[in-house]
Amino acid sequence: MTTPEIAFKHVSKRYGSGETEVRALADVDLSIDRGAFVAIMGPSGSGKSTAMNIVGCLDRPSDGEYFFEGIATSTLSRTQLTLLRRHKLGFVFQGFNLLPRTSAVENVELPLVYRGLEAGDRRQRALAALARVGLEGRAGHTPSELSGGQQQRVAIARAIVTDPAVLLADEPTGNLDTRTSLEIMQLMTTLNRVQGITVIMVTHEPDIAAFADRIIRFVDGRIESDRLKSDGALETMA
């Protein structure tokens, strides 16, 4: 039996204490295999963002264990967690988070700067990442010279320039119109199915979630439903 890429074992997350304590996650068990495309849904306060933060090693469980590629992340130091994020994970956000006075290619190079790559190697890899998202002709443009969809493509190029195993997308189409949203989702589907990147995406939009092969819905810190798409339909995970 293969080891899941992502696994929660009885994961809980609490904020505050006493009467002010908030239980964001409550005894969650979850496993995601390599190469999956998963959409995480749920109302505000359901725990979906907390779960994503733990998957991204931006937060730790209060109880239980999070395993990444079979390794218990509780055993990792802060430096090791930083290296895991840097080498294994890519992040895409609703607000793009691009540096406004910096060109597209320079924005994409940023994760490689943190890795300490030489300037020439950084530029070559950043240009290749922009080509992968269809923006090879926009490398010298600043964010203000790009459309919203193009800015999100730059953000995706920045996320994949390090060749991550997992792409974490938090409302990646939240600031985009319908046509552009579909273009971004088609790109993410290609990254998943052609290039083999595991995609885990938070979204409020059912039509966006429909691009995923599996839809997990959180309610009140627990998984309410976990459905796998099969031949165009959705079936409940065992």
Q: What is the pLDDT of residue 237?
A: 58
Spatial distance between the Cα atoms of 110 and 91, rounded to a whole number of angstroms: 13
Short-list 52, 30, 80, CA closest to 166: 52
Q: Is residue 102 part of a domain?
A: yes
Closest CA to 129 of 160, 107, 98, 103: 160
Please give the pLDDT value at position 1: 67
Tokens representing 188 are: 């993410």
Amino acid 233: pLDDT: 52
Which residue in 37, 6, 40 sits closest to 212, CA to CA? 37
Q: 3 in a domain, yes or no?
A: no
C-alpha 81/C-alpha 118 separation (Å) is: 24
In CATH, what number is assigned to the domain containing residue 43? 3.40.50.300
Q: Is 56 helix (H, G, I), strand (E, B) or coil?
A: coil
Q: Has residue 10 been placed in a domain?
A: no
Answer whether residue 12 is part of any domain.
Answer: no
| Domain contains 200 | yes
Task: Return the SS3 of 47.
Answer: coil
Cβ–Cβ under 8 Å, residues 98 and 107:
yes
pLDDT of amino acid 236: 60
Residue 133 lies in a domain: yes
pLDDT of residue 150: 94
The CA distance from 74 to 90, in Å, is 20
Number of domains in the chain: 1
CA angle (157 as vertex; 155, 159 as ends), nearest 5: 70
> Is 208 domain-assigned?
yes
- Domain holding 53, by residue range, is 33-59+78-237
**What are the Cα distances from residue 66, in Å, to 28, 33, 71?**
10, 14, 8
Can you tell me whether residue 150 is helix, strand or coil? helix
List, for the chain, all residue ranges whose pLDDT scores fall below the cut of 70. Answer: 1, 230-238
Whether this model's pTM surpasses 0.85: yes
pLDDT at site 114: 84
SS3 at position 62: coil
In a domain, 64, yes or no: no
Q: Which of 126, 134, 132, 92 is nearest to 110 (CA)?
A: 126
Torsion angle (degrees, nearest 10) of CA 226, 193, 110, 39: -20
DSSP letters, 159-224, are HHTT--SEEEEESTTTTS-HHHHHHHHHHHHHHHHTT--EEEEE-S-HHHHTTSSEEEEEETTEEE
Q: How many CB atoms within 10 Å of residue 16?
A: 9
> Residues in the chain, how many?
238
What lies within 8 Å, CB to CB, of 15 at 6+ separation is: 21, 22, 24
